[in-house]
Structure 1
Amino acid sequence: MTEQEQDGQEWIGGKHPVMEALRSGREINKIWIAEQAQKHAIQPIIAEAKKAGIIVQFVDKRKLDGMVEGIQHQGIVAQAAAHRYYEVDELIERARDSGEMPFLLLLDEIEDPHNLGSILRTAECTGVHGVIIPKRRAASLTATVSKTSAGAVEYVPVARVTNMAQTIDKLKEAGIWIAGADVSAQQDVFSSRSFDMPLAVIIGNESKGIGRLIREKCDFLVKLPMHGSLNSLNASVAAGVLMYEVVRQRRSH
């Protein structure tokens, strides 16, 4: 658990993530801007912060480096209330209320925050109604995830669960089909059964893939065809291909 999560605060670094946090109405306590920052780049953020009554302070860039170590903050850092995680029931309800066919994403122990951020960014672009992650042995919503997601973290609801297997059972009870992305699958995703149904797609861990128990709970498994010498794709790339295949199939019906 990060220090920011412990005291109910979180740091956001970067122009896009801070702007999206402001636009989404996220509770922001204060914004720091580097004195060396280019005026034209920061003006929209200052205007948005002023509208929301948020304090903006100009400081030396080195202070920002210390606030969000390892993050490319682009001269802008915000301190916000920690992200609210949703309940699985809320995600199901959100999907139903949208008037669209439910489309959820389950991430089985994705550990790299950059992968999680990239997946959330594509999930926002493809209309995913919610993402479910486990509480243990997995990346959570941190400043790195926020930066990599380019602000998508403000718009895609994320549920954090203790037991992924029980969560799958709950989704099945709600009439949602479970598709697992797995290299052992008999059928590839482009010749598979239709994704034009209430659906949750499971993406596995970067090195181990989907856990055995989770794999057994899937209604069906799909794999991406591999033609090169390598036999695997980066988890966020694989997730992106699958999400867009769901979109493609649904649009063509």
Structure 2
Amino acid sequence: MAAGGKPGRPAKKKSPTKGTGGQRRRGLEGRGATPPAEMRHWYKDKARAERVAREEQGGGTRRAPARTRRSDDAPEYIGGRNPVLEALQAGVPASALYVAHRVDNDDRVRDSVKIAADRGIALMEVTRDKLDRLTEGAVHQGVALQIPAYDYAHPAELVELARDAAETPLIVALDGVTDPRNLGAIARSATAFGAHGLLVPSRRSAGVTGGAWKTSAGTLATLRVARAANLTAALREYRDEGLFVIGLDGAGDAEIGDVDLLAEPLVVVVGSEGKGLSRLVREQCDVVARIPMRAAAESLNAGVAAGVTLYEVARHRRR
């Protein structure tokens, strides 16, 4: 009996309607290719990726990128186990050693920590994310060394260093060299072959950054670097002090080994690999020399060219 006491009719089975089979087939179809990991809402690094993207784009605060924000007095960071250990062993003036959580504790890390502790350098244990930010994405292998902003010398101090040592002045000037790694490599060669310092322009030139420290293998701790507001004027003042200026250029007038000024008080000017010496700097050179090479090699890296030239200068001076 149906509710209310009235007899009811048995319910009829609902027959299939047109189109239901298609709906069922669509329900069984797949949802397409699996989305990349960074597009899944449960992806563990999605929040980090979004945060990094916001930081790079300003994140609403309209902050400039890290390299633009860096001021002249901001600290620099050396990343990597070998570079950090070499810098500490060379006595680089460091203010803090950063070590990542649960880093693989090999001999280089242990030695770095010991040297830092002996020198009273602060030891900081941080996340790898923080090390990534401090080193601006460079390879750090879980360790980074913070160094204060470099204290540049005055160009005249480089000549005074040579005269105080009773030696013939040898200075290396950089014209348009913008890669800090080239600066570090040139510093290494300059130290090896007895130069008294490097001279760099204050604009459009590489400076003593973490990358330069890293490539120099610690030699920047003993080699002075001077900065000039105007490189052309600084070279003119060196000439007034009795120094000769030799510029390196692939289209030079003479081969470097044939220049008869190499044993004299000297400034060697290294130009950029692409553009070479600027016109104003070239006008200040007593000689523009080239390094002989086969035609297959159009030019040499600035660091390599400086090393070859400084070796030639050292060879002449030993005579």
Shared fold by TM > 0.5?
yes
Question: Within the alignment, does 1:250 sit opposite 2:283 as a pair?
Answer: no
Question: Within the alignment, does 1:169 sit opposite 2:231 as a pair?
Answer: no
Q: Write the distance in 2 (CA, Å) between the matches of 1:117 and 1:2.
A: 22
Q: How many residues align?
A: 252
Q: Write the distance in 2 (CA, Å) between the matches of 1:105 and 1:6.
A: 22
1:31 corresponds to which of 93, 97, 113:
97
| Change in CA separation of 1:78 and 1:194 when aligned onto 2, cut-off 3 Å | same
1:130 aligns with 197
CA deviation digits over 1:215-234, x for unaligned, max 9?
Answer: 11111121011223232111
The alignment partner of 2:152 has SS state of coil
- The CA deviation at 1:32 is 0.8
2:32 aligns with none
The alignment partner of 1:28 has SS state of coil
The alignment partner of 2:288 has SS state of strand
The alignment partner of 1:132 has SS state of strand
CA contact (8 A) 2:97 2:123 kept: yes
Identity %: 38
The alignment partner of 2:308 has SS state of helix
- The CA deviation at 1:3 is 4.1
CA deviation digits over 1:51-82, x for unaligned, max 9?
Answer: 12222123333431221023222322122221
Stretches of structure 2 that go unaligned for 5 or more consecutive residues are: 1-66
Relative contact order (alpha carbons < 8 A, sep ≥ 6): 1 or 2 greater? 1
CA contact (8 A) 2:202 2:227 kept: yes
User: Which AA in structure 2 matches 1:11?
Assistant: Y
Q: Write the distance in 1 (CA, Å) between the matches of 2:204 and 2:260.
A: 32
| Change in CA separation of 1:122 and 1:169 when aligned onto 2, cut-off 3 Å | same
CA contact (8 A) 2:75 2:148 kept: yes
Q: TM-score, normalised by structure 2?
A: 0.73
Question: Within the alignment, does 1:100 sit opposite 2:175 as a pair?
Answer: no
Question: Within the alignment, does 1:83 sit opposite 2:150 as a pair?
Answer: yes
1:11 corresponds to which of 46, 67, 77:
77
Stretches of structure 1 that go unaligned for 5 or more consecutive residues are: none
- Is the radius of gyration larger for structure 1 or structure 2? 2
User: Which AA in structure 1 matches 2:169?
Assistant: P
1:233 aligns with 300
1:221 aligns with 288
CA contact (8 A) 2:189 2:307 kept: yes
Q: Write the distance in 1 (CA, Å) between the matches of 2:169 and 2:96.
A: 37
1:153-168 matches, within 5 Å, as: 153-168=220-235
